[in-house]
């Protein structure tokens, strides 16, 4: 069962989150013009993210970054692994999709700022903070940026199936897909669809009550349901792993611009990615507590 044991490290990490980094990366990803899975710019965005993640991990011999090629799409995914010091065969994973789409098959104008540059920028900032702290997890931690989510969760489906086939012990999986559009009264909405794990969801609530009840790092929360396999965490749930999906708003108040040419950073009501920064903090609490709270 999950417990809160890493106060000092978590509180240090929360102070290091910088929303400006997230904002800059959302804009960078939007600037590819399209990350639709059939485009060269989508492939380029994945290769560039690998380079960026390698730069963050510079000097860390316990870190590796790999491109994962797929059969169901020409777009690759990218995975960064921080090998655990004590339980390296136990994996704590966080991910999101890096592809974008725009209705009407406008595959050359799919900015995808909120869906899902925001999620990729959020997990990248969490990684940057961990490396700044020289954090060395007891369990293995992985960051994943998936291809082709918008056309049927294809990248995450292939990777989750491979992990199951290899009997990888995934302790938990967290999805970040759309983190920067504050459409509802609370900040974070925990998805309570049946395929999400209640114990993991309860732990996320415990984390926010313990670390984010008030002050600079305050995060308010609610629950929401998408009522279908609405993002990559579903691929992991289908393999029997425990998953959670903290989301930007309630289903009917989420970003109305997604899947259109209007999904741009300048249309976000939260300038400077202050909404996404809250998800980076929750991500750090999740990663540090579960990867280091080994009993
Ligand atoms: N369907 C998802 C967006 C999405 C996810 C969850 C909820 I609640 C509402 C909307 C998507 O487009 N992912 O790329
Ligand atoms: Zn989408
Ligand atoms: Zn998405």
Q: Which of 114, 149, 232, 242 is catalytic?
A: 149
Contact 197, 2 (CB under 8 A): no
- For residue 182, how many C-alpha atoms fall within 13 Å in the half-sphere facing its CB? 17
Is any ligand 1 atom within 6 A of the Cβ of residue 231? yes
> What is the residue with the minimal CA distance to atom 14 of ligand 1?
150
Residue 184's pLDDT band (cuts 50, 70, 90): very high
Residue 105's pLDDT band (cuts 50, 70, 90): low
Q: Which residues neighbour 101 within 8 Å (Cβ) at sequence distance 6 or greater? A: 36, 107, 110, 112, 150, 151, 259
What is the Cα–Cα distance from 81 to 92, expressed in whole angstroms? 10
Contact 53, 80 (CB under 8 A): yes
Percent of the chain with pLDDT over 90: 96
What is the Cα–Cα distance from 173 to 152, expressed in whole angstroms? 19
The torsion region of residue 140 among left (phi > 0), alpha (psi -120 to 50) and beta comes to beta
pLDDT at residue 269 greater than cutoff 80: no
ipTM value: 0.94
Other C-beta atoms lying within 10 Å of the C-beta of residue 6? 19
**Atom of ligand 1 at shortest distance to CA of 249?**
8
CA-based nearest residue to 119, from 91, 158, 149:
149
**Atom of ligand 1 at shortest distance to CA of 150?**
14
Contact 127, 80 (CB under 8 A): yes
Mean pLDDT of 103-124: 93
Residue 294's pLDDT band (cuts 50, 70, 90): confident
Q: Establish whether 149 is a catalytic residue.
A: yes
Tokens of 145: 């940026």
The tens digit of pLDDT for each residue in 210-248 reads 999 999 999 999 999 999 999 999 999 999 999 999 999
């Amino acid at each position: 069962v999950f417990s809160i044991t890493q106060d000092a490290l978590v509180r240090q990490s929360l102070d290091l989150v910088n929303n400006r980094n997230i904002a800059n990366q959302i804009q960078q990803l939007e600037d590819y013009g399209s990350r639709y899975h059939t485009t060269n710019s989508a492939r380029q965005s994945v290769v560039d993210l690998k380079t960026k993640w390698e730069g963050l991990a510079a000097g860390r011999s316990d870190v590796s970054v790999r491109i994962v090629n797929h059969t169901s799409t020409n777009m690759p995914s990218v995975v960064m692994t921080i090998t655990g010091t004590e339980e390296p065969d136990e994996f704590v994973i966080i991910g999101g999709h890096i592809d974008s789409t725009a209705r009407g098959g406008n595959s050359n104008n799919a900015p995808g700022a909120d869906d899902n540059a925001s999620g990729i920028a959020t997990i990248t900032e969490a990684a940057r903070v961990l490396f700044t702290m020289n954090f060395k997890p007891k369990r293995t931690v992985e960051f994943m940026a998936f291809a082709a989510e918008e056309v049927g969760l294809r990248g995450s489906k292939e990777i989750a199936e491979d992990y199951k086939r290899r009997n990888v012990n995934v302790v938990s999986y967290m999805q970040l897909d759309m983190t920067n559009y504050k459409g509802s009264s609370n900040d974070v909405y925990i998805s309570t669809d049946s395929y999400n794990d209640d114990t993991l969801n309860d732990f996320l609530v415990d984390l926010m009550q313990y670390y984010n009840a008030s002050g600079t790092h305050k995060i308010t929360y609610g629950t929401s349901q998408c009522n279908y396999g609405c993002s990559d965490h579903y691929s992991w749930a289908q393999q029997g792993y425990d998953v959670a999906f903290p989301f930007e708003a309630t289903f009917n108040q989420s970003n109305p611009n997604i899947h259109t040419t209007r999904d741009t950073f300048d249309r976000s009501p939260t300038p400077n990615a202050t909404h996404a920064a809250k998800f980076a903090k929750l991500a750090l609490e999740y990663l540090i507590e579960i990867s280091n709270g080994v009993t």
